[in-house]
């Protein structure tokens, strides 16, 4: 009896393992629908498809206030953050003042104007200039008369009508007149009044640049103490920062610096250390360090405050870094958003995250220095990308 039961159980187990002939068509198909669904999900993450980009409508794009910034190559070693103030480039700067007491008779330039070297800025009037110019005219007239007298007496001397002694005396008179004319002209040059007529003379800019300040007003009495115009070439500026002595000792001329401005929170620029001071301020224990920065748009202005991140020591090894706001995390990992040529379309780029670098993050892979990434608005783009992914999964 027991043997009969064991045989029956074995037969039943064998029947259960045998595949049913209609297993693939139980729900009205051969299983291809499941394969197609799987292929569709795999294809949604393939490069070049909608999963690699996020599209923002034009109206929403205005509300996002997206800003971008270049991924930078920065030294991998220690850095110091130093504070300072933007100043004019003293190698391209001029203060134009009156060389003598005078009165402003005409103003030809205003603050903010772009001027060229040699361009007239103001016309002044001075009795002293009028007197010097009158003396020059008299000296020129005496010189011309002495020359004519010499020429006439030379002709007479050829006919033995004028003696050689008289001829020599005439030559001496001409030399004296020429000396007086030269002296009068040098006086006008010393007064800075070579251009003009009578008591009027003009002042010109010695350099090309922007008029930073002006004190010249029509009718104002001016002296030699106060400049009438301040002109500087603002296309390149100096940032003077104050580094603690321990950091200044590790800074090197030529080192790159990353500069940011409180007045322009979305703007950063790069500069180069060009001078490290040779004196420590006894009160603050800091050293002045000069960083030169380009200002092609003239957006930066002297007097603006700024901070700079400067590499300390050698800068042989570098890393790629982006602002911390640019890096976003999702279920797929860390990524950044890159603007495309099409408005409102941003590429999603997976990257490897490295160290925190005081406001920036090291990027280990997936991005190169010089590529432009979204900074402000990246968080909202990430949210929109997650929303789009969720919609695709629901659709499938």
Residue 26 has pLDDT above 50, yes or no: no
Contact 149, 162 (CB under 8 A): no
Residue-wise pLDDT tens digits, 186-206: 887 877 777 888 899 999 999
Check whether residue 240 and residue 281 sit in a common domain. Answer: yes
pLDDT at res. 209: 95
CATH code for position 379:
2.40.420.20
Q: Which of 190, 205, 225 is the last residue of a domain?
A: 190
Contact 367, 322 (CB under 8 A): yes
State which residues form the domain around 180: 127-190
Contact 394, 387 (CB under 8 A): no
pLDDT band of residue 5 (cuts 50, 70, 90) is very low
Check whether residue 310 and residue 340 sit in a common domain. Answer: no
| pTM, two decimal places | 0.57
How many residues in the chain? 396
Closest of 162, 136, 139 to residue 151, by C-alpha: 162
Residue-wise pLDDT tens digits, 98-154: 988 999 999 999 999 999 999 999 999 998 888 888 888 888 888 899 888 888 888
- State how far the Cα of 74 lies from the Cα of 318, in Å rounded to an integer: 5
> Total domain count for the chain?
3
pLDDT band of residue 390 (cuts 50, 70, 90) is low
Check whether residue 156 and residue 167 sit in a common domain. Answer: yes
Check whether residue 153 and residue 172 sit in a common domain. Answer: yes
In a domain, 284, yes or no: yes
Cα dihedral 273, 275, 276, 278, rounded to 10, equals: 180
pLDDT band of residue 7 (cuts 50, 70, 90) is very low
Q: Spell out the long-range contacts of 381-385 with Cβ–Cβ below 8 A and sequence spacing 24 or more.
A: 381/54, 381/56, 381/64, 381/66, 381/328, 381/337, 381/346, 382/328, 382/329, 382/330, 382/335, 382/337, 384/54, 384/56, 385/54, 385/330, 385/348
CATH code for position 186:
1.10.287.470
CATH code for position 288:
2.40.30.170
Residue-wise pLDDT tens digits, 41-85: 333 333 333 458 888 887 787 777 888 999 988 777 778 899 999
Check whether residue 332 and residue 301 sit in a common domain. Answer: no
Contact 79, 307 (CB under 8 A): no
Check whether residue 361 and residue 350 sit in a common domain. Answer: yes
In a domain, 225, yes or no: no
Q: Which of 292, 316, 340 is the last residue of a domain?
A: 316
Write down the residue that tokens 């995250």 correspond to.
Answer: 353
């Amino acid at each position: 009896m027991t043997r009969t039961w064991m045989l029956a159980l074995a037969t039943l187990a064998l029947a259960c393992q045998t595949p049913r002939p209609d297993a693939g068509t139980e729900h009205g198909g051969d299983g291809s629908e499941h394969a197609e669904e799987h292929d569709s999900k795999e294809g949604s993450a393939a490069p070049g498809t909608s999963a690699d980009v996020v599209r923002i409508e034009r109206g929403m794009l205005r509300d996002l206030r997206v800003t971008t910034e270049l991924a930078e190559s920065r030294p991998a070693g220690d850095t110091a953050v130093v504070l300072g103030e933007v100043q004019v480039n003293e190698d391209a700067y001029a203060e134009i003042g009156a060389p003598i007491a005078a009165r402003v008779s005409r103003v030809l330039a205003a603050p903010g104007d772009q001027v060229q070297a040699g361009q007239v800025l103001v016309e002044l009037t001075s009795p002293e200039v009028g007197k010097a110019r009158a003396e020059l005219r008299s000296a020129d007239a005496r010189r011309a008369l002495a020359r004519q007298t010499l020429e006439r007496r030379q002709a007479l001397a050829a006919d033995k009508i004028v003696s050689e002694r008289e001829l020599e005396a005439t030559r001496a008179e001409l030399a004296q007149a020429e000396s007086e004319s030269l002296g009068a002209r040098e006086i006008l040059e010393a007064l800075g009044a070579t251009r003009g007529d009578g008591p009027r003379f003009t002042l010109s800019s010695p350099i090309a640049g922007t008029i930073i300040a002006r004190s010249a007003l029509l009718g104002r009495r001016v002296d030699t103490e106060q400049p009438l115009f301040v002109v500087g070439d603002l296309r390149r500026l100096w940032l003077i920062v104050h580094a603690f002595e321990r950091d200044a000792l590790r800074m090197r001329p030529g080192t790159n610096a990353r500069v940011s401005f409180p007045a322009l929170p979305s703007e950063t620029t790069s500069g180069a250390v060009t001078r490290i001071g040779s004196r420590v301020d006894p009160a603050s224990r800091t050293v002045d360090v000069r960083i030169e920065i380009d200002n092609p748009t003239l957006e930066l202005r002297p007097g603006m405050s700024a901070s700079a991140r400067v590499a300390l020591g050698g800068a042989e090894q570098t890393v790629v870094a982006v602002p911390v706001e640019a890096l976003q995390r999702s279920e797929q990992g860390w990524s950044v958003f890159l603007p495309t040529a099409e408005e409102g379309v941003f590429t999603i780029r997976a990257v490897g995250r490295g160290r925190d670098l005081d406001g920036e993050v090291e990027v280990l892979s997936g991005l190169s220095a010089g590529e432009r990434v979204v900074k402000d608005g990246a968080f909202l783009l990430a949210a929109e990308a997650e929303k789009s992914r969720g919609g695709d999964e629901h659709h499938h």
